[in-house]
């Protein structure tokens, strides 16, 4: 079950952060949602896969957020957010699993 929690947290952070910023017109509040989910994901990844993997996946999460902006210009805001959320979820499933 733990391996499914982190992809949900990262997806909620990216999608929820964007929706929060959009609905409230308060970008820092959306950033707070993004940051809280990223911090929670880091803790889970660290527990399950170790500090190095957690740092790498957190970097990917932040890079996905950054990549969503230019991607939105090409495909639209929501499709871009869904695309990067899916990418981070897949990476989390593949690399963020509990060590054997």
Per-residue pLDDT, 100:
59
Q: Between 79 and 99, where is the model more confident?
A: 79
User: How big is the CA angle at 16 (ends 9 and 85), to the nearest 5 degrees?
Assistant: 60
Please give the model's pTM, rounded to 2 decimal places: 0.92
Q: Say if CB 57 and CB 96 are below 8 A apart.
A: yes
Return the structure tokens found at 27.
Answer: 């970008």
Per-residue pLDDT, 99:
67
Query: pLDDT per residue over 29-87, tens digit each?
Result: 999 999 999 999 999 999 999 999 999 999 999 999 999 999 999 999 999 999 999 99
**Cα gap 53→79, rounded to integer Å:** 27
């Amino acid at each position: 079950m733990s391996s499914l929690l982190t992809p949900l947290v990262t997806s909620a952070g990216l999608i929820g952060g964007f929706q929060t910023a959009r609905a409230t017109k308060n970008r820092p509040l959306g950033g707070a949602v993004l940051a809280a989910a990223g911090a929670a994901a880091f803790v889970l990844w660290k527990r399950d896969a170790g500090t190095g993997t957690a740092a790498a996946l957190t970097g990917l999460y932040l890079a996905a957020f950054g990549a969503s902006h230019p991607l939105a210009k090409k495909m639209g805001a929501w499709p871009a957010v869904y695309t990067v959320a899916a990418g981070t979820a897949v990476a989390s499933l593949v690399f963020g699993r509990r060590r054997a």
